[in-house]
Chains A and B, each alone.
Chain A
């Protein structure tokens, strides 16, 4: 096997791109030891990031702290437009900080695979920062869900997501109630909301071809009635018995005895262990790291490992990243816009403060963490990102970065590995821009 290509692919895909010196470390350790080190580092705090992340104080906020002292009581809130506007601005500011911090981590993080998996789960369990008041819930979602469970057992992650205020709000489950819910006397405000139940089956677990029916969606929605928030002002998870549909349900052919919150927890764990979920996740991991059209044999090996290890994400990743398929020359992967921009900064030893100007530039290319507009997250496959207009945007960003026009973000002086540009007769920044704008740099 070609170790050179394997190393290149590992750094290009299992991190946000090789930095000067990364390759030597990988070559010294070998792929397996390198991967073990990345997996071991995963949960741990990355001390190198601390000084940079101190610019984002909102990262520490709890859901009920975000709008503290700002939210007037319910009815006044409607009249008091200024207060509402103020909360909206605050939510937006927090969202910019959380997204900015993610970009800083992608560019400057030492725990490369951890940052990539945070990004992977952030798309798998996508939430949209611009949904009403979502900003205040993102720090918690980032810390307690995405950062805490990225390498562990999938079912633990799935349960954390289901209870997270961010997902409860994004997919409306906090409003879903039993058909007759005492305090919601107006008939229009009682009843299930299918949004979370559907995406749970379609996107989070079984996959769209996973063999569930519309009736399953409805039944799953009934199971999760009562998974809600304390209140709008105090948006922390709460299971509310009075909203929960106490009757029996039937999901994927199995009866679920009417109970309480245990119904949902058991269902999540059952879904996580379902073979369709194993296949769906295996496919997505292989598509992320190996090839847009996943080789079926590899998908099967990854799914088997997932099933054999009770859904261990780290064990599944090892199969993906140590596979011969990773080093198959035909398996090229396009860098999505965030990977393109991060890898340019990493390759040259550049710097970013994750500030608003850089976020806007990334938004123009179509990829900012937490700003995918659909619950499917940002798309993975190259075909979504390759069209003339999008490529022009990439070239434009390469030149803007090299020209030093993106405030708070600048390239370093190192030459990307494998650089082929002849810079004769060019100014340094121009040859750097050309390098990053070239077709080859768009791929890993």
Chain B
């Protein structure tokens, strides 16, 4: 596979390379003559997967400011200001917390990326994406669960979701969803009750509730031992967290408390912007600022300590044109971010161009890169070797050279 074929724009540590933003001329400009060295991933690699639920508008996150179709096709939604990223692509102003990463060449953006499955249903698209197979006819557990199988034996906390329910991506892994570490535990149950509970769950046979509950009780003991904390009873439960920044803070706290975390899953669900999406400011901008704040916080906290890898994904993009409500409807291609010290910063993917005849079904950004190619490279760097073959059954990843 030609490692350079799809790499067309890159900034960062390797300097600035630029090409005109015209389809057909986006070829092979880079210096990747030698194979990308696999990261020397050891136990210090920390992978954070961020899922933007609701279909995040890639053209808002990473506006193609150099493409004449951008202003023409979405005049009311096009940003008039953006942070500079490459000559033809900017970043939404509310991503400014990522500036230090951009300057260090630690932010890679893959544009026009997604799943080639044509569905515009959030629920189907998320399920297919998280199962790891468009159409998902064969699978019932998550791509991340299969990929992390080699690490799963280390600890029940090797992979962790900071969500209220375990996401499909991790289903089948026995991983934990810890919505709020401050309330994680059984504050009202005494030692004798805990013992009796454990006995009942252990004797529950193959009842999936008993299996999951038994591992929960075992893991809780490990959690308490490692972190030296026990949840205390609160008179008023805390409100569930909906912010990525708060989730990032909790990841940092758990990691510092001594949990052997290798992989974390975060999510937010503010991205379905059918109405009053806004431009530089407004409802989507607030979500973007939250995302950037979370990634920046992780990056600062892990600097020099853990080998951080962040990947940001969404189920599909949004219509190129605005709808009748100052928003956008369900589309096709969007963006993915990959960030971290080992990442080769810049912009990746074949840019199709925003001209009417190039749009998917006349309305959406096409998908020119399969999201699994991105995840494959991220996983390879995280695991230090090729991910298990069944991670994405039947899928041939393309080489992007992100890492």
Contacts and interface: CB of A to CB of B under 8 A. Distances in A.
Given A189-B324, A193-B323, A396 B235 contact: no
A97 interface: no
B165 A392 contact: no
A198 interface: yes
Nearest to A399: B188
A172 B275 contact: yes
A211 to B, nearest CB: 14
Contact of A390 (B166, B200, B269, B274): B166
Interface stretch (B91-99, B212-220, B349-357): B212-220
Interface stretch (A12-20, A255-263, A436-444): A436-444
B210 interface: yes
Contact of B325 (A193, A396, A407, A437): A193
Interface stretch (B33-41, B42-50, B115-123, B387-395): B115-123
B165 A434 contact: no
A373 B121 CA distance: 15
A382 B175 CA distance: 17
B264 to A, nearest CB: 13
Interface in A392-444: 392-393, 395-396, 399-400, 402-403, 405, 407, 426, 430, 433-434, 437-439, 442-443
B189 A399 contact: yes
User: Chain A's interface: helix, strand, loop or mixed, by majority?
Assistant: helix
A366 B329 contact: no
B236 interface: yes
Interface residues of A, number: 63
Given A190-B324, A374-B269, A439-B209, A434 B124 contact: no
B327 interface: yes
Interface in B224-282: 233, 235-240, 269, 274-275
B376 to A, nearest CB: 26
Contacts of A214: 120, 361
A31 B174 CA distance: 40
A247 B208 CA distance: 55
Interface string B53-64: 100000000000
A75 interface: no
Contacts of B166: 387-390
Nearest to B219: A388
B18 to A, nearest CB: 32
Contacts of A433: 188-189, 193
Contact of A188 (B186, B215, B322): B322
A193 B324 contact: yes
A386 interface: yes
Interface in A80-139: none
B130 to A, nearest CB: 12
B197 A389 contact: no
Interface in B147-161: 156, 161
Interface stretch (A40-48, A156-164, A355-363): A355-363
A316 interface: no
B325 A172 contact: yes
Contacts of A172: 274-275, 325, 327
B188 A400 contact: yes
B23 interface: no
A386 B207 CA distance: 11
Contacts of B179: 364, 389, 393
Contact of B237 (A364, A383, A385, A434): A364
A400 B193 CA distance: 13
B329 A195 contact: yes
Nearest to A197: B329
B398 interface: no
Contact of B186 (A195, A376, A392): A392
Bin chain B's interface residue count: 35 or more
B186 A396 contact: yes
A348 interface: no
A386 B188 CA distance: 22
B188 A405 contact: yes
A407 B209 contact: no
Contacts of A400: 187-188, 233
A176 interface: yes
Contacts of A219: none
Contacts of B274: 171-172, 193-195
A437 to B, nearest CB: 6
B15 interface: no
Given A364-B237, A395-B213, A430 B324 contact: no
B325 A176 contact: yes
Contact of B176 (A176, A366, A389, A437): A389
B77 interface: yes
Nearest to B223: A392
B209 A388 contact: no
Contacts of A384: 165
B261 to A, nearest CB: 14
Nearest to B213: A391
Interface string A64-81: 000000000000000000
B240 A364 contact: yes
Determine which residue in A172, A198, A361 has the highest number of CB atoms from chain B within 10 A of its CB, and name it. A172
Given A193-B325, A366-B165, A434-B196, A382 B216 contact: no
A221 to B, nearest CB: 9
Given A198-B120, A214-B120, A392 B220 contact: yes
A391 B324 contact: no
A27 interface: no
A206 B210 CA distance: 37
Contacts of B161: 389
Contacts of A393: 179
A12 to B, nearest CB: 15
Nearest to B164: A366
B239 A360 contact: yes
B6 interface: no
Determine which residue in B178, B209, B213, B216 has the highest number of CB atoms from chain A within 10 A of its CB, and name it. B209
Interface in B268-302: 269, 274-275
Contact of B197 (A363, A365, A395, A402): A395
Contact of B165 (A208, A376, A385): A385
A149 B133 CA distance: 39
A330 B75 CA distance: 58
Determine which residue in B156, B184, B188 has the highest number of CB atoms from chain A within 10 A of its CB, and name it. B188
A391 B155 CA distance: 18
Contacts of A175: 275, 324-325
A208 B209 contact: no
A53 to B, nearest CB: 24
Contacts of B269: 373-374
Given A189-B324, A193-B274, A374-B122, A388 B236 contact: no
Nearest 8 pairs of A and B residues by beta carbon: A188-B76, A191-B324, A387-B166, A388-B216, A399-B188, A175-B325, A389-B177, A391-B213
Given A364-B240, A376-B122, A388-B215, 10 more contacts: A198-B329, A334-B209, A360-B238, A364-B164, A364-B237, A392-B184, A392-B185, A392-B217, A399-B188, A400-B233
8 contacts: A193-B274, A194-B323, A365-B164, A388-B174, A392-B216, A396-B185, A399-B188, A433-B188
